[in-house]
């Protein structure tokens, strides 16, 4: 896995950026809003919890913590399962600031319902289970991403030097590892990584947008109270919401370290695409695209480059070559 270094210069680039984020009232979302504001960004943030969300703007503004002047926050009550509600969030950003630079799909909920309850009977299984976990965690991400693409592109017409635009999807370690007991949550978070993988070759060319995903492991929030004691007892690494927020913003705005192997579609937005056998140009100045970053103990590790780089090992050389040829025929999805 490739480490994601945290660079101070990345935070400096956040000044005056316009950022839309969901799930802002608690945990990782709240910490991300605070970090953005502290570094001079304009944040339009949404959450279902209007009581907690509406208090954020006043508490941040009155905070005595050092911050870069010029930032702002605007709360909009948002239900990510309601398409019009997500539209309203982005409309607020456009009306207030004229553009959107970064969009972060962060809203999520825990497992809900008894989908695979061991005591489920012939009678009990007749009752349709709730789809809330799927609706918020996957459908909400799809709604958000569809709308975000248009609003990010709106102030970013094709030019020789387009403005950098970034879409961040919050998945989970449950998005790439089996996680017993949270069945629908795991399926939904796997779906978020599927969305990342389908968008990463497409959006840079069609919209000038980079897409990445964040997969936090155990993070000290209300969502993990049931396992916190056992986790601590085994001395496993724990993320703070603040440390995950820091990785989120590094991936959103940071640059690929000089000399590091790039993902297949990194550099397209900057007009620097490196194909097979080409060195390309601008090493160290290409921003992340197509990464899924596992976060443990506040450290970020990209899993996608590892999967891509070792495919011949886990799939076999011959099958890997055949698969690569098929993927080449499919292209980036713009021709069919």
Residue 265 lies in a domain: yes
> Residue 213 corresponds to which tokens in the numbers above?
């995903």
Structure tokens at 80: 């990510």
Query: Tens of pLDDT along 10-58?
Result: 999 999 999 999 999 999 999 999 999 999 999 999 999 999 999 999 8
Q: Is the pLDDT of residue 264 over 50?
A: yes
Query: Is residue 322 a part of any domain in this protein?
Result: no
Residue 239 in any domain: the answer is yes
Contact yes or no for 286/292 (Cβ under 8 A): no
> Which range, of 28-37, 120-129, 161-170, 276-285, averages the lowest pLDDT?
276-285
252 in a structural domain: yes
Encoding tokens for residue 141? Answer: 């991400």
**pLDDT tens across 194-240, in order?**
999 999 999 999 999 999 999 998 888 766 767 777 777 787 888 89
Q: Is residue 334 part of a domain?
A: no
User: In this predicted structure, what is the pLDDT of residue 157?
Assistant: 57
**Does residue 277 carry a pLDDT above 50?**
no
The pLDDT-based confidence of 99 (bands split at 50, 70, 90) is very high
Which residues are tagged catalytic?
Answer: 171, 185, 189
13: left (phi over 0), alpha (psi -120 to 50) or beta: alpha
Residue span of the structural domain in which 127 resides: 2-311
Instruction: List Cβ<8 Å contacts ≥24 apart for 260-263.
Output: 260/2, 261/2, 261/305, 261/309, 262/286, 263/200, 263/289, 263/290, 263/291, 263/304, 263/305, 263/308
Assess if residue 328 is contained within a domain: no
Q: Does the pLDDT of residue 332 top 50, yes or no? A: yes
- pTM of the prediction? 0.91
- Residue 317 in any domain: the answer is no
Q: What is the pLDDT of residues 155-178, one digit of tens each?
A: 755 555 567 899 999 999 999 999
Residue position matching structure tokens 């297949």:
264
Query: For the domain that residue 119 is a member of, what is the CATH number?
Result: 3.40.50.720
> How many domains would you assign to the chain?
1
């Amino acid at each position: 896995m490739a480490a994601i270094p945290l660079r101070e210069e990345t935070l400096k680039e956040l000044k005056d950026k316009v950022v839309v984020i969901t799930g802002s009232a608690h945990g990782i979302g709240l910490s991300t809003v605070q970090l953005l504001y502290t570094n001079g960004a304009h944040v339009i943030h949404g959450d279902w919890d209007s009581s907690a969300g509406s208090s954020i703007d006043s508490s941040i503004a009155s905070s005595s913590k050092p911050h870069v002047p010029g930032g702002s926050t605007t709360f909009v009550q948002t239900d990510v399962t309601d398409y019009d509600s997500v539209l309203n969030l982005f409309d607020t950003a456009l009306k207030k600031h004229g553009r959107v630079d970064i969009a972060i799909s962060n809203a999520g909920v825990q497992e809900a319902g008894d989908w695979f309850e061991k005591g489920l009977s012939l009678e009990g299984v007749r009752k349709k289970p709730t789809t809330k976990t799927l609706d918020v965690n996957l459908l909400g991400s799809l709604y958000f991403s569809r709308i975000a693409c248009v609003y990010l592109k709106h102030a970013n017409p094709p030019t020789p030097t387009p403005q950098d635009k970034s879409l961040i999807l919050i998945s989970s370690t449950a998005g790439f590892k089996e996680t017993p007991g949270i069945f629908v949550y795991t399926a939904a978070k796997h779906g978020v990584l599927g969305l990342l993988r389908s968008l990463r070759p497409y959006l840079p060319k069609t919209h000038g947008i980079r897409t990445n995903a964040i997969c936090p492991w155990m993070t000290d929030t209300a969502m993990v109270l049931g396992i916190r004691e056992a986790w601590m007892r085994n001395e496993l690494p724990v993320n703070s919401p603040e440390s995950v927020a820091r990785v989120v913003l590094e991936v959103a705005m940071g640059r690929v370290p000089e000399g590091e192997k790039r993902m297949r579609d990194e550099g397209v937005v900057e007009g620097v695409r490196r194909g097979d056998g080409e060195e390309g140009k601008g090493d160290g100045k290409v921003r992340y695209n197509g990464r899924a970053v596992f976060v443990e103990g506040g450290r970020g590790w990209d899993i996608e480059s590892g999967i891509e780089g070792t495919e011949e090992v886990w799939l076999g050389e011959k099958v890997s070559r055949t698969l690569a040829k098929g993927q080449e025929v499919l292209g980036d999805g713009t021709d069919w």
